[in-house]
Amino acid sequence: MRDTFRGGVHPNERKELSRKAALRVFDAKGEMVFPLAQHIGKPAKAIVNKGDPVLVGQRIAEADGFVSANVICSCSGTVKAVEKRRTISGAMQECIVVDNDGKYTETGDIFDQPLRVDNLTNEEILAAVKDAGIIGLGGAGFPTHVKLAPKDPLAIKYLIANGAECEPYITCNDQLMRGYAAEIVEGMEIVLKLFPAAQGVIAIENNKPEAIAAMKKAANGHKRIRVLGLRTKYPQGGERSLIKVIAGVDYPITKLPADVGCIVDNVGTIYAIQRAVVYHEPLFRHVMTVTGEAIKEPSNFIARDGTSFAELIEAAGGIKDGVEAKKIISGGPMMGIAVSTTEVPITKTTNAITVLTSDPVETADKKMTACLHCGRCTTVCPNGLMPQMMADAVAAGDFERYENKLYGLDCISCGSCTYICPAKRPLTQTFKQTKAEIMARKRAAQGGKK
Amino acid sequence: MNQRLNLSAGPHVRDRWTTPFIMMIVLIALTPAAVIGVVVHWVKFQSLNALWIILASVGSAMLTELLFCLATRRKITIWDGSAAVTGLLLALCLSPQTPVVLPIVGSVFAILVVKCCFGGLGKNFINPALAARCFLLLSFSNGMTNYPGVNELGVDALSSATPVAMLKAGSMVNVTKMFLGTAGGVIGSSVLALLVGGLVLWGLDVIHGEICFSVVGGFTLCLALFGGHGFDPGYLAAQLCSGGVIMGAFFMATDYTTSPVSRLGQLVYGCLIGVLGALFRILGKSADSFSYSIIIANLFTPLIDLYIVPKPYAYRKSAIEKAAGVVKPPLLKRIPKPVIALTIIAALAGVALSGVYSMTKDPIAAAELAKKRESFKVVCEDAADFKDVDAAQKALDALEGGSYGGGKFGTTVIEEVYEAVDTSGNTVGYVFSVTNRNAYNPPLKLALGVDPDGKILKIAFIELNETPGKGSKADEPAFKDQFVGQTDTSAVDTMSGATVTSKAVLNAVNAGLDFFRNVIMGGGK
């Protein structure tokens, strides 16, 4: 089997900063903020009011519609407000704010002893996943109970646990796999029950030999699960890249992985499923990395949703003396979002806080030249797109060519083209805007017809 | 934590490679060729003119861009290095004897007209260095065709059908010199240095293999099929090592801006250059055909980029079939049988042709030699046979096919000299074939017969491409019969309205007479 996909880039990994830091549980002290829209789909509906007492594991907002997910409280205390607060994206969003009493009293629904899962039906498993508010922890945040219920479960050939962790700096999944290998394998077995024809593959980039060894050991004896070491290359951990390698299939943006017989879940999601099904523990905490050149003690945490960036950075020793934090990124440097303030809460999908002492984007902007037509972007695009031609089409305002001839809507915004560009052109950024513009125009056109 | 934070959109890391870095690598890759060019010229002629040309060209290219940026109040872009690359490329395809003013004029043209006026880096529609070279060739043809040693790396000696000279001199000697860059020609004529630089660039992924190898491949294949010599390695090697083919393939055709972006487009573009270059070599007269073929392909690039757009992986037929679960038979079974059969037949035919060629090579050469001698009989009617003249041959070998007389007769090459003998073996005269490259439409090639006393027997034109009605009158008896019986050309009236042609003929004849007096008679006594 191939161990990688076509294209891709090799950004400086910088995982050595935090890869040796074992997972630490971090309990926040300050107020906790829970945005209602942490997932793809419709925002959840708040089911608590100001002044209500809440406990750890309590559902405070309910899925609204099919593609939506519950929001779970990660602390105990009282609801301070349901109001608009600033979130990672920079926008003001509806959030439930909880005054944390610091006691972390649990609801009592979470089991101490593992539940026997052999006799659970598929419906019971899916219900447990849905109740736990689990969404894809890889970053996109697609509600997992929707993903695990494709039209034809028998058509699923591969269940892929994504432990590639190709984003530079981030090491939390590495630590999760090292520390909770057996739990992840059990989670895989639970999900595999839903897909009788599927084979389980745990895909890990080979820059994490300890994690590969731990997972191989845990998977030993599990006939339907194997561990696959992948070449270290960004975006190896992209859903499409994994499917290309494992199932050997390329598919257009209009299709879902399930359409080509694959389900891809982050190892963190698989672990959350195991917790939800076996211990009835909903998703209110997850692994994440606080790292970067500016951080004193880069760490891997099991952090509670709603904790502010400021508290987590403080928990990692704070900013190093004598350096200035130039840029704070929610996530890794390739696909993460820069935040304007540390007074924003982490959500279920926040897998890292990366604090940089310099801003490569700023430096790159100063070095920007005209496009050379060197074609490096076309070589690295994992989907075989022609970023250079796409940028030309956008510059010429030719959206028709962008969409139909160049398949510009198939861009997954992985950032490889921007990364590699010697002329330092903001390619990915342009494509994101253009895609949004084309989609907006389409919606406007449809609205006009009606 | 309240200081200002940067908020730019991701990705938040960038690769180390920048535009100036790439240009620097290209400059480094060109350095060996430049150094060899300068050193060879210095060793041969104790002149550093090649170095001055390089410095003038690079300097004026950068200065032009600087002045343009200042004049138009744009960001100063000279430090991206592209102007320096253009300047160096231009210098490397000039003769080391070019007057230093020409590279300056050329660089200004390249940067100002071809690059800056069309929008600067990444916007030029043809390769600036090549455009400048062609501009210079058309505007200053005298200064530009002044080559030491073999004219234009011996391209014309090879392409304009003098296989006799090739066979006689032993083409392999020539090719080795051309490969090393000691044969003369342009500054960047060391094929070895260019190949090393080019392959390094390819290895570093700076240039696209799709382009350079398809240029070389298309060129070689086309020459082999239509060049009239089949797969003769000597002939192909000589062609590849001459006339800037390697320079063009690795450094000119691969220019990012003027080549297609898609791999398939690059293959099409490269093959176009190779095939055009080969056809120009076979059919054309110009020694600079390769520059023109690259420029023509440059002009096709926007068209290629418009129509050859590879589909993303997911939309390619193979991916769609795979997603649909179509199981394909192995590759060999998918190729239709007629295609396999035709390929085999074509391959066999090719092998057979090569065999026939190598069997008939010598007889053909002998026949051509006989034909040549026939033409010499025109200028020396009493001759029954022609013999080699040792002293003359030595002198010609020493010149290595270069210009005779050190510029006294313009660029004039004496190609062959024979002693004419009658049936009883008495010397009845000497015959020369002389080529002059300063005619209106060079080369001008004539046969000259001289009797043992140094009187001209007759002249006849072997190759004359002058303007009909003007320079073409040289072939009329009124002009050429004036030479008969003369020992010098002082009494010859030039043709009115065709002074360039007249001068070329006189130079050719004078070179022959001079050679006769100084080498044959001088060496004989």
Interface touch A333/B123, C-beta < 8 Å: no
Token duo for residue A183: 């739990």
Mean local confidence (pLDDT), A106-130: 90
- The Cα of B368 is separated from the nearest Cα of chain A by a number of Å equal to 49
Higher pLDDT, B304 or B499: B304
Of A6-20, A87-101, A103-117, A234-248, the least confident:
A103-117
pTM of structure:
0.80
Q: Residue A449 class from Cβ within 10 Å (0-12 exposed, 13-18 middle, 19+ buried)?
A: exposed
Residue B166 is predicted with a pLDDT of 41
Nearest to A249 among B11, B205, B323 (CB): B323
> pLDDT tens digits for A218-273?
999 999 999 999 999 999 999 999 999 999 899 999 999 999 999 999 999 999 99
Of the pLDDT bands very low, low, confident and very high (cuts 50, 70, 90), residue B171 is very low
Of A9, A384, A415, the CB nearest to B313: A384
In a domain, residue B82? The reply is yes
Q: DSSP alpha helices (H): ranges in A132-281?
A: 144-147, 172-179, 181-194, 209-219, 239-246, 267-278
Q: Are A95 and A33 in contact (CB under 8 A)?
A: yes
How far apart, in whole angstroms, are the C-alpha atoms of residue B114 and residue B124? 6
Contact B270, B218 (CB under 8 A): yes
Residue of B nearest to A247 (CA): B323
3-state SS, B270-290, equals HHHHHHHHHHHHHHCCCCCHH
Calculate the CA A319 to chain-centre distance. 25
Following DSSP, what letter does each residue of B67-120 receive, concatenated? HHHHHTTPPP-GGGSHHHHHHHHHHHTS-TTS-THHHHHHHHIIIIIIIGGGTS
CA distance A211 to A206: 9
Domain contains B370: no
Determine the distance in angstroms separating the CA of B164 from the nearest CA of chain A, rounded to an integer: 45
Distances (CA, A) of B409 to B135, B150, B397: 26, 16, 19
ipTM: 0.89
Chosen for mutation from A374, A404, A413 (greatest number of chain B CBs closer than 10 Å) is: A374
Which of B11, B256, B319 minimises the CB distance to A372? B256
What is the count of residue pairs from A and B with beta carbons less than 8 Å apart?
Answer: 178
- Domain A110-278: CATH architecture, name and number where available: 3-Layer(aba) Sandwich (3.40)
Query: Are A360 and B12 in contact (CB < 8 Å)?
Result: yes
Which pLDDT score, from 0 to 100, does residue B159 have? Answer: 33
- Which pLDDT belongs to residue B167? 34
Predicted local distance difference test score (pLDDT) of residue B172: 45
Residues of B in Cβ contact (< 8 Å) with A329: 10, 12
> Cis peptide before A298, with omega less than 30 degrees from 0?
no
Distance from CA of B321 to the nearest CA of A (A): 10
B/e letters for A182-218, b = 16+ CB within 10 Å, e = fewer, are ebbbbbbbbbbbbbeebbbbbbbbbbbeebbebbeeb
Of B5, B22, B208, the CB nearest to A422: B22
pLDDT in the model for residue B155:
38
- Answer yes or no: is B220 within a domain: yes
Burial B270-283 (b: 16+ CB within 10 A, else e): bbbbbbbbbbbbbe
Give the C-alpha separation, A131 to A183, whole Å: 20
Q: How far is A448 from chain B (nearest CA, A)?
A: 31
B270 and B394 assigned to the same domain: no
Q: pLDDT tens-digit profile of A346-375?
A: 999 999 999 999 888 888 888 899 999 999
Distance from CA of B4 to the nearest CA of A (A): 7
For A157-213, the pLDDT digits (tens) are: 999 999 999 999 999 999 999 999 999 999 999 999 999 999 999 999 999 999 999
B328 found inside a domain? yes
What pLDDT is stored for residue B389 in this prediction? Answer: 83
- Cβ-defined contact of B312 to A384 (cutoff 8 Å): yes
Kindly indicate the confidence band of residue B170, based on its pLDDT and cuts at 50, 70 and 90. Answer: very low
Which residue in chain A has the smallest CA separation from B326?
A: A249
- Residue B376's pLDDT is 83
Interface test with B, best of A249, A290, A313 (most B CBs within 10 A): A249
Give dist(CA A128, CA A188) in Å, integer: 15
Task: List, for residues A400-411, the tens digit of each pLDDT value.
Answer: 999 999 999 999
B22 vs A contacts (CB less than 8 Å): 372, 374, 422
> How far B35 CA lies from chain A's nearest CA (Å)?
27
Task: Collect all residues of chain B within an 8 Å Cβ-Cβ radius of residue A418.
Answer: 11, 14
Could you tell me the two tokens for B51? Answer: 């170095």
> Nearest-5° angle of CA A418, CA A419, CA A424?
60
Shared-domain flag, residues B434 and B351: no
The single-letter code of the amino acid at A161 is A
How high is the pLDDT of residue B161?
A: 29
In which band, very low, low, confident or very high, does the pLDDT at B162 lie, cut at 50, 70 and 90? Answer: very low
Closest CA to B1 of A331, A362, A326, A338: A326
Percent of chain B with pLDDT over 70: 90
What is the three-class DSSP state of A171? coil
User: Quick one: A6 exposed, middle or buried, by C-beta within 10 A (0-12, 13-18, 19+)?
Assistant: middle
Which of A250, A328, A378, A379 is most worth mutating to test chain B (most B CB atoms within 10 A of its CB)?
A250
Q: How confident is the model at residue B151 (pLDDT cuts 50, 70, 90)?
A: very low
d(CA B191, CA B247): 8
B397-402 average pLDDT score: 74
Segment A105-130 mean pLDDT:
90
| Three-state secondary structure string covering A103-115 | CCCECCCCCCCCC
- The SS3 of residue A191 is helix
3-state SS of B235-251?
Answer: HHHHHHCCCCHHHHHHH
**Domain spans of chain A, in order of start:** 110-278, 364-449
Tens digit of each residue's pLDDT (9 = 90 or more) over B9-67 = 889 999 999 999 999 999 999 999 999 999 988 888 888 999 999 999 999 999 999 99
B265: left (phi over 0), alpha (psi -120 to 50) or beta: alpha
Nearest to B13 among A338, A360, A422 (CB): A360
Cα gap A249→B316, rounded to integer Å: 11
Measure the N-to-C terminal CA separation of chain A; round to a whole number of Å. Answer: 50
| Measured distance CA(A31)–CA(B63) in Å, rounded | 63
Contact assessment for residue A245 and residue A212, using Cβ atoms and an 8 Å cutoff:
no
Query: In chain A, which residue's Cα lies nearest the Cα of B254?
Result: A374
d(CA A71, CA A284): 8
Per-residue model confidence as pLDDT tens digits over A296-323: 999 999 999 999 999 999 999 999 999 9
CA atoms within 13 A on the CB side of A267: 31
- B69 with B169, same domain: the answer is yes
Distance to chain A for B135, nearest Cα, Å: 24
Residue bearing the bigger pLDDT, B231 or A111: A111
Paired tokens of A278: 């076996």
Residues B83 and B223 in one domain: yes
- Which of B10, B122, B208 lies closest to A375 in CB terms? B208
Is B5 in Cβ contact with A360 (below 8 Å)? no
Q: Which domain holds residue B411?
A: 380-524
d(C-alpha B466, C-alpha A112), whole Å: 103
Q: Using a CB-CB distance cutoff of 8 angstroms, which residues of chain A are in contact with residue B9? A: 338, 361, 426, 428-429, 432
Same-domain status, B455 and B392? yes
pLDDT at residue B286, rounded to an integer: 65
Candidates B4, B7, B14, partner chain A, best to mutate (most A CBs within 10 A) = B14
Residue in B6, B77, B305 closest to A326 by CB: B6
pLDDT value at B305 more than 70: yes
Q: Which residues on chain A are in Cβ contact (under 8 Å) with B321?
A: none
Give the per-residue pLDDT at B240: 85
Q: Tell me: do B69 and B217 sit in the same domain.
A: yes
Q: Give the residue among B247, B40, B240 at the shortest CA–CA distance from B158.
A: B240
Residue B148 has pLDDT above 80, yes or no: no
Interface of B with A (CB under 8 A): 1, 3, 5-15, 17-19, 21-22, 77, 80, 119-123, 205, 208, 256-257, 259, 261-262, 305, 309-316, 319, 322-323
Specify whether B179 is located in the same domain as B291: yes
Among candidate residues B276, B307, B338, the one where a domain is terminated = B307
Cis status, amide bond into B233, omega within 30 of 0:
no
> Looking at residues A116-139, what average pLDDT do you find?
92
Of B19, B120, B314, the CB nearest to A383: B314
What average pLDDT does range A69-86 have in this prediction?
A: 95
Over chain A, what is the mean pLDDT? 93
Q: Based on the structure, what is the number of domains in chain B?
A: 3
Q: By the 8 A CB rule, do A342 and A324 touch?
A: no
Shortest CA gap A386–chain B (Å): 8
Please tell me whether residues B26 and B126 are part of one structural domain. Answer: yes
Residue contact B15–A373, C-beta within 8 A = no
B355 in the same domain as B387 = no
Same domain, B327 and B394: no
Nearest CB to B17 within list A250, A422, A429? A422
CA distance to partner chain B, nearest, from residue A261 (Å): 9
Q: What pLDDT is recorded for position A449?
A: 56
